[in-house]
Each structure stands twice: as structure tokens, then as C-alpha cells.
Structure 1
Amino acid sequence: MGSLGSLVSCDQEEVLIQNVCEIYDNLSTLQSLKPSKDVDALFTRLVLTCMPPSPIDVTKLPGRVQGIRSKLIRLCGEAEGLLESHFSALLGSYSIPLDHISIFPYYTNYIKLGRLEYTIMSNYITNPNPSDIAFIGSGPLPLTSIVLASNHLKTTTFHNYDIDRSANALASNLVAADPDLSERMLFHDTDIMDVTTGLSDYEVVFLAALVGLNKEDKCKVIDHLAKYMAPGSLLMLRSAHGARGFLYPIVEPSDLPGFEVLAVFHPMDDVINSVIVARKSKYQY
């Protein structure tokens, strides 16, 4: 029975890989990844293909498939940025943008992810009402910061870092009409690799899934955070598990020298990202 089960598993993996590669081929022929009927249909198909729990280890696939995975993660990152820019601009056309935020098709996912991350963070944070939190890679539609600031951390100041000035301009416009969030949501047009001692100001640092699209770049950012974050502060990272690793980079606990990994959570529902929480070592890294 065991060997039969492994055969079925192998067959399922082959079908999964075949489907993912086919979707990649279709995506790579598109002239633009801006939101459109074709783009939306292909990415919806990709997400639905990769969402079910799978024992596949995408980091150990053959070189050709690894190459496709790397390119696919970049395409996902580009498309996600374009989708967020589109909806941020649309929301920004309203006099009170946040009143209409639910028009973003994945808003409920961010509500769930925000609740999950807040719950996990609450188990480990020493101060239940942190004064300052940093979010690295906040983008044009900083929904995590908005959800956490609105629903969970109602006195915390959120420092949103993104190297794209136009993304920050769109994001800032979303909260400008809100008397509370406009005061507590700050935006920095800064490469986090250029921020040094300032990182020690934050009790919690969130690292977006698409900051560092490959292992090398991701580890450079993590090493930088390990060097400059305050001892005892928390790092909240997003990763991926199983077939979801075709969509986002995977971070392993072993990729976090200078941190004590406290918890790893792999959602099984439509929240795609895994969550890792780690504490900065009290010893200098």
C-alpha cells in the first residue's frame, strides 16, 4: 500500500509540474501582465493549481523546472505589483479611499492574514502595544499595515518601506483622508539595505514575501536585519510551503542566522503565504 501511495503521489507531482509549466508558457507569451481578462484567468488558474496541500519540495526539482519556478516567481511579483497599483489608483480616485477598499479582490485574504499574523505575534511580543513597526516592501497597496493598524494595533505607528517612490505615493494617498491612519502610517522611499541603526527603533519588522525574489537576495536582506535590528525584537517573515513555492520564495528556518525561530505556520486555506516569526538574538550577530 505504501508503494502504491508513493506512485500516486509521484503521478500527482508530475501532473502538478506539467500544469505549472504550461501556465508559465502561457504567461510568458503575454505582452503585458497588467490586469486583464487573460492575465487574471491565468493567475487564478496558477493559484488554484498550487493552493492545495502538496508534499512536493519545489527546491529539489530538476534544474529546468527550477529555472521555470524562478521565472514564475518573478512574473508573479511583477503581476502582483501591477494589480496593486491598478487598484490603489482606482481606490485613490475616491474622496475616502478606505471606504471602498473591499473592491480589491483579495482583501478578505489580507483580513485573514492580518488576523493570523497578529495572533502569532501576540504570543511572542513583550509589549502588546508596540509603538513602532516596520513593514519592508509595503508596495502601492499596503493592506497588511492598513489591516493591522485599523483592526489590531490601534496606537502603533507603521513605517512602510518601499524603494519605489510611485508606489509610496499611491499608498500614501489611500490613507491621506483618514485622520488616524494618516498620522500613524509613514512611508519611506528607502532601500532597507541602506537603513542601519534606524532598524533598532522597531519592536517588530515585517518582511514581505516578494522582497528578495531568490534565495541569495532574500538571505542578504535577512543578514542585514540580523545585524541592525534591536536585540529581542521580532521578525515576521512570509514564506511558502509545498506547491505554493511556485508562487513565492521559500524561507527555511536555517536561513535565519542571528535569529531564534519561534514558530512556523503553514495555512491550509486560501491564505497563500506561510508565516515565520523569529526573535533577534540578544547576542551581536
Structure 2
Amino acid sequence: MASFKSSNIEAEIPEEILIAEIMQLHASISKLESLRPCKQVNSLFSHLVKLCTLPSSIDIEALPQEVQEIRQNLINLSGHAEGLLELEFSTFISLTAEPLKNVTLFPYYGNYLKLAQMENKILKENGIVNAKKVAFVGSGPMPLTSIIMATHHMESTQFDNFDNDEKANEVARKIVASDAALEKRMKFVTQDIMDVRERLGQYDCIFLAALVGLNREAKVKILGHIRKYMKEEGVLLVRSAKGSRAFLYPVIQERDMLNFQVLSIFHPTNDVINSVVLLRKPKA
């Protein structure tokens, strides 16, 4: 596969080359019998991630229908592959002598570290310090954001992690159980967030993982549900994507944030993939 190279680091990859390469990768990924981590799967997704983080000024909304459909399919495939990768690593880490120390073995740990740092900075800049209680929606088998936030940035905060997969929560609990102090501050709840109501009013801050609501329609529904039950003046941190990164993760647009006060929108330009959108529920 031809790769776009340039001596000028800031040079943008031309849109037609980007789309052609992404479509070629999509064809290869679609042919895979399984998305479980292996040399071929890892290589294809690493290539896709690299491609999607190259400087580009692609307008996702303007893409033709055929490319939009491939994009949606890639988000689903990437989400599935990410879940399998997390499950494999978290299962392996949970069986080691010091699971919590070994979360650094996860291939994208450095990425999570940068993302948490970025999110913590955005929260602080908007006056969210010493949150008593935080919810993380879509924590998965490898709840790295919660772990990093709880150990590096919010050292006295109570974390409730919501995931609708009990298997994911089971292995996540095992990792956290290796640290008695952290275990006291971290709960794992197996429930679809659309079934959580009054409890959402307890949190000062709610994180919404990028892969909760894989398309715009589902995401808007979830945002509306959380807004309805969250506390007034509470904040919601939503992960999104911009430009070519939107081939990996769903996007939330300004029009999807109605009835929220938009505090901050940040789009990274380094190897961090997710954009960060910080919303506040205004006083009635």
C-alpha cells in the first residue's frame, strides 16, 4: 500500500489519497475472519490509526454516501476490535501479581495518559476541581481513564464506572481489587446507561466514552437522557472526533448539544485521537 510521505511534517495528506487508503484498509479489515488481536489485525488497525492522525482538512459531513457508509462500518469494526484488545490485555493483566502496576503494558496506555491529562486540564480551566463523585459511562474491561484520573488527578474522588457488559466489569474489578485504597473509591455497575435515571443526579461530572452510541442518532439519544437526569450545573465530558479521526470514532456536532451550555471544545493535533467536548447542564 502506498503511503503518503512528505519532508514537511505539517503537509496535509490530500483528501483523495486519504480516502483511497482508508477504503483499501476497510476492504482488508472486512475480509478478516476474526478481529481478535493478532499480528495481522494489529498491523491493519495500527496503519488505520496512523493514517487517521495525519494532518488533513477533510470535511466528514461533505463525504459521499458510499464513503459515509464505509466510515460507519469502520467505526463499528474498530469499536469491536478495541473491545477485544482491551479484554485480552485486561484478562492477562488481572492474572499478574500486581495488576494495577501492569496496566502500563496496554499498547495505548501512553495515549490514555495524554488524554486524561488533557481532560483534567480542561476540567480545571472550567472550575471543576475536587469533584466528589464522578461517573464514567462505557468504562469497558480496561478502565484506564478512571484509573489514571483517580490515581494522578482526582485523588479523593469516588468513581462509578458503568458498562453494560458484566464480563468487562468483572475483569476490571479484578485489576482495581489489587489496590485496597483505590478499590474503596471505585465501583463497577453493569447497566445500560439508558436505564440509569435518578442515580445520574449524584455526579458532579460524567464522562461519556467515545464508543457509547456508535452513530449520531444513538449518541443524541444518550446525551438527551443524561441531560434529563444529571444534576443542574453538573458537567458532562463527551469524547468526539474531528476530521479524519472520525473514521475511528463517532462525532458530536454543535447541533447535538442543544440545551447544554458548551464550556469547551478541544481538538488535539498530536497522536491523541479523541476530541474533548465539555458541557454543562444549566440551571432550570
Q: Which TM-score band (shorter chain)?
A: over 0.9
Residues 135 and 158 in structure 1, CA contact (< 8 A), matched pair in contact too: yes
Of 67, 70, 73 in structure 2, the residue corresponding to residue 71 of structure 1 is 73
State the distance in 1 between where 2:210 and 2:178 align. Answer: 28
Are positions 1:282 and 2:277 aligned together? Answer: no
Alpha-carbon shift at residue 107 of structure 1 (Å):
0.5
State the distance in 2 between where 1:125 and 1:189 align. Answer: 31
Are positions 1:240 and 2:250 aligned together? Answer: no
- Paired residue secondary structure (1:180): helix
| Structure 1 segments unaligned to the other structure (5+ residues) | 1-7
Identity of aligned residues (%): 47
Q: Report the equivalent of 1:26.
A: 28
Counterparts in 2 of 1:3-14, with a 5 A limit? 12-14=14-16
Output the aligned Cα RMSD: 1.2
Counterparts in 2 of 1:221-232, with a 5 A limit? 221-232=222-233
Deviations 1:10-34 (A, max 9, x none): x810110000000000000000001
Counterparts in 2 of 1:74-153, with a 5 A limit? 74-126=76-128, 128-153=129-154
Residues 175 and 181 in structure 1, CA contact (< 8 A), matched pair in contact too: yes
State the distance in 1 between where 2:102 and 2:197 align. Answer: 37
Letter in 1 for 2:49: V
State the distance in 2 between where 1:35 and 1:106 align. Answer: 14
State the distance in 2 between where 1:48 and 1:95 align. Answer: 34
State the distance in 2 between where 1:251 and 1:65 align. Answer: 18
- Paired residue secondary structure (1:205): strand
- Paired residue secondary structure (2:14): helix
Query: Which ranges of 4 or more aligned residues in structure 1 deviate by more than 6 Å?
Result: none
Are positions 1:180 and 2:181 aligned together? Answer: yes
Q: Report the equivalent of 1:5.
A: none
Residues 125 and 234 in structure 1, CA contact (< 8 A), matched pair in contact too: no
Normalising by structure 1, report the TM-score.
Answer: 0.94
State the distance in 2 between where 1:53 and 1:242 align. Answer: 9
Letter in 1 for 2:85: L
Q: Report the equivalent of 1:4.
A: none
- Paired residue secondary structure (2:210): coil
Alpha-carbon shift at residue 212 of structure 1 (Å):
0.3
Deviations 1:16-70 (A, max 9, x none): 0000000000000000001000000000110111102211111221110111000
Alpha-carbon shift at residue 252 of structure 1 (Å):
1.2
Alpha-carbon shift at residue 100 of structure 1 (Å):
1.3
Deviations 1:93-140 (A, max 9, x none): 1122011111111101111111100010112235x2111100000000
Letter in 2 for 1:272: I
More deviation in 139-148 or 56-65? Answer: 56-65
Normalising by structure 2, report the TM-score.
Answer: 0.94
Q: Report the equivalent of 2:6.
A: none
